[in-house]
Structure 1
Amino acid sequence: MRSRNQNENHQNNNPPTKPKHADLSETVLQAKKLSVYYGETLALQEVSMDILKNSVTALIGPSGCGKSTLIRCFNRLNDLIDGCRVEGKVIYRGKDLYGSKIDPVAVRRRIGMVFQKPNPFPKSIYENIAYGARINGFKGDMDELVERSLQRAALWNEVKDKLKTSGLSLSGGQQQRLCIARAIALKPEVVLMDEPASSLDPISTESVEELIHQLKHDYTIVIVTHNMQQATRISDFTAFFNAKAGKNGKRFGYLVEYDKTEAIFESPQEESTKQYVSGRFG
């Protein structure tokens, strides 16, 4: 058996790419030796992993291990942070999203994002859906798009008679489902979710989790969560990240283990994964 230090070195030098027990499902996104720096400070080191189509992939690990940093790389939101530098590649449908000819705005249309706290626009429920579609050049039937998006977000029946009221008037759980409807209105293929239920009550959390189960039939979902029970409930695959101090004393994140969710929680291969999922640290 390896010592813990040897084990961590092994993980860092040979990061898993595909879930070991996955079938041959189509790969939608690939991170290839992806590292992220804020200024000169390393935040995430050489992550390589494949995200599989029509699946829910959960990213778990202690605070500061780079989970949110990673998903922001997947749709180039880190471009908006001063001093952020990304090395390596993110491949989507055969194209490197960090290539010189790639338009980040176009990337975000194909790879949507739902944030930790619900953030509806200060507009009507209808305009929360229509506004993004309109500025992105949608020319079809807007009423149909709004209704379809709200239906897919399991919100239509609750708001169909008050579409002109402010999105901010909704409950927290409804607001988060409105934000999900807004994201899928642009017809992305991938939806990134950064702890989408962390600020919600248990009933609203259950509604969002049920929605995620429904959405994976049409979308590929990557979700950051600190709630390990949530990861077991909603995800097909789980990637465990950890953090350690670099030579400058500052901590950076790295991928430890990536597999089917039941394998990560029931028979993890790495000692640090076992300790984390059993609640011994984190």
Structure 2
Amino acid sequence: MTSQSVSPVATEAALRAKNVSVYYGSTLAVRDINLDIFKNEITAFIGPSGCGKSTLLRCFNRTNDLIRGARVEGKAMFHGTDLYAKDIDPVYVRRRIGMVFQKPNPFTKSIYENIAFAARINGYKGDMDELVENSLRRAALWDEVKDKLKQSGLSLSGGQQQRLCIARTIAIEPEVILMDEPCSALDPISTLQIEELMKELETRYTIVIVTHNMQQASRISDKTAFFNAEATESGNKVGYLVEYGDTEKIFNDPSEQATQDYVSGRFG
């Protein structure tokens, strides 16, 4: 497959789930998800543990492919292209749709090489110094590390490491950035810095964040999807989408009682 195979076309949603269900082996984990994620917005996935938020997130850059026995039914789409079509290269998908994980995971390399290595293996041929600086600037980290680019990325604080991982993601020029609880391991000050950064990045990228922090979701997101789970006869949890819409409505005037109960802290 060539890179042109997933080129954006004119469409309303950057990402779209159409009747998406996810299985791990024979076990259904998420069922029949339908939602549109819009370009240059921040969309938050909220809900109790085990309701499939992260599982659905991983569908959009095919990270579930790396889990033995994982299988996706329905269509996860990027600008109208089915990401699971036979001719789609998952490596290319992950370049266009980047991922930032719960725990910061810098490479065991210098701060500079964390950016340069990621760009290099993705075929970047331009001015590497310029790319490193621009990526770190976009991640609001340049002023803090510009004099220690040769130091290990692991020498940074947790919040700085997470911003380094965001800079590394930015360096390969994705259109979408997926974030799986990116602040759960951080202190409040670092969390605020990441939130401010997300709002700045929103003008250039489409961002989807999984979070258990209701205040965070209400502060930073434009739209919110609330997921819940129900137990099957075998005792497994199956996640499903309860409600999706503008964040202000989800938190202040939800349509479903379960949403109201969750955002008000009555369960979860």
TM-score bracket relative to the smaller structure: over 0.9
SS, match of residue 20 in structure 2: strand
Q: Equivalent residue for 1:143?
A: 129
Deviations 1:122-167 (A, max 9, x none): 0000000000110111000000000000000000000000000000
Identify the residue that residue 240 of structure 2 maps to in structure 1: 254
Aligned to 1:170: 156
The aligned counterpart of 2:7 is none
Percentage identity across paired residues of the two chains: 72
Q: CA deviation at 1:247?
A: 3.5
Q: How many residues align?
A: 258
Query: Is 2:85 aligned against 1:99?
Result: yes
* Cα deviation code 1:64-87 (max 9, x no counterpart): 000000010000000000011110
- SS at 1:144 equivalent: helix
Q: SS in structure 2 opposite 1:163? A: coil
* 3-state secondary structure, aligned to 2:118: helix
1:118 is aligned to 104
2:68 is aligned, of 48, 59, 82, to 82
| CA positional deviation for 1:91 | 1.1
Counterpart position of 1:6: none
Separation in 2, partners of 1:26, 1:100: 24
1:152 aligns with 2:138: yes
Match of 1:57 in 2: 43
Counterparts of 1:1-282 in structure 2 under 5 Å? Answer: 26-282=12-268
Query: Equivalent residue of 2:186, what SS?
Result: coil
TM-score, normalised via structure 1 length? 0.91
Instruction: Tell me the CA shift for residue 93 of structure 1.
Output: 1.7
Q: Distance in 1 between matches of 2:14 and 2:73?
A: 20
What secondary structure does 1:243 align onto?
Answer: strand
State the distance in 1 between where 2:241 and 2:204 align.
27
Distance (whole Å) between structure 2 residues aligned to residue 32 and residue 245 of structure 1: 23
Distance in 1 separating the partners of 2:236 and 2:167 = 38
1:237-277 C-alpha deviation (Å, 9 max, x unpaired): 00000000123331110000001001000000001001000
- Aligned partner letter, 1:83: G
- C-alpha separation in 2, matches of 1:32 and 1:248: 27
Q: Please identify runs of 4+ aligned residues in structure 1 that moved more than 6 A.
A: none
How far apart are the structure 1 equivalents of 2:148 and 2:154?
12
Q: State the distance in 1 between where 2:215 and 2:204 align.
A: 24
SS at match of 1:183: helix
SS in 1 for 2:85: coil
SS at match of 1:187: coil
> How far, CA to CA, are the matches of 2:49 and 2:162 in structure 1?
23
What is the SS of the residue equivalent to 1:50?
strand
The alignment yields a C-alpha RMSD, in angstroms, of: 0.8
Which digits, 9 at most, give the CA deviation of each residue in 1:150-198, with x for residues without a partner? 0000000000000000000000000000000000100000000000000
